[in-house]
Structure 1
Amino acid sequence: MLQGDADAAYAAAMAGCRADRLYATALPFMGELYFSKGQYATSEKFFRGGYAVDPQISNGLFHFGNCLVKNGKLREAIGVYEQDVKRNGSFPTHFLMAQTYLVLGERQAALATLKLALNGLRMPIPRLSAGLWLMPSMPVWSSAIRKIIRNWEPLCAEPVPQRICIKPFPGSNEFAGKENQFAKGLCQPCR
């Protein structure tokens, strides 16, 4: 009934939120869907709608930040990325923040954020992130991190890290006995 009509879908989703506030968590997922289709203005509308109904929603924050970047709202994207780091942890958001700072021309902020991102890779990945490794957006993270790493030397005198290993979170059997699939594309196998 609503297929292809983003305005009608948004109205229906907001009506659902009026009936039960928990429906607000669906709006960021819809925002991600429209983002993946390249409909960035519509995507932003769904993200904003969900977060307006329930500002405590944590899902989709870094996607919302990416959407804001695509819509040219870089400063606002940094703020959304900061919220995501507070609620969901460093990875991959600190890398995306560093890339955004580079686009803004803020090299020192990019460097400081990149250092936080690299330090975050040394920490165990939270259990809630298990499903994220299987998400279609993983190549976006990989691409963003490669861009940041390539820009490391121009940012500072520190050498480019030769190897970054992302180990599976404790208790995970998903990657038992092998390096993380993400690390495969970024660095030498972890040992």
Structure 2
Amino acid sequence: MALCLVGHGYTWPLYKGTTPKQILNSRRGLLHQMVVVTDNGTQFTDKGFQDFLAALGTKQHFTSVEHPQTNEQAEAANRVILRGLRRRLDQNKKKWVEELESVLWAYRTTPHSTTGETPFRMVYGTEAVIPVEVGEPSRRTEQRLEEEMNDETLREELDLVEEIRTGASLREATLKQKIAARHD
């Protein structure tokens, strides 16, 4: 991974082929107060991309060319993603590109032990409807929402994102204190 969005207590890894335009189109409302960690590729050092991030109040950090491991959060996410790819590929290692999106989806919709939340919920304020739920009757899949009502519901959920992130940060801090207490 060459690119990782870092929010309040979560990371949102993107694969190396992701272009700045794709980031802007898919995350336009989500980049506010985030940090974008990239390599030094010209697509990420471009003045237009940097100006856009600055206008949103989004900081950009670059990994060192000689030492990309300095981005610990991205490295931790990479380990989880590589483990997921290995499990899916068995002997056919050449098909990793075909499996990457589903491994990233699994990463984004799995609760993380430090925060107790999924990265998806930390970004969007609601849990994702996962493919297994699509055919199953539930309030989330059966309820026919009008577009206007759906937009209102999404806005309300996004208003709660800060509470979700604060709760996750508190759980993470508590876990760090417990770990530190065990080592002292």
Interval containing the TM-score (normalised by the shorter chain): under 0.3
Is the strand fraction higher in 1 or 2? Answer: 2
**TM-score, scaled relative to structure 1:** 0.25
Is the helix fraction higher in 1 or 2? Answer: 1
**TM-score, scaled relative to structure 2:** 0.26
Greater relative CO (CA pairs within 8 A, separation 6+): 2
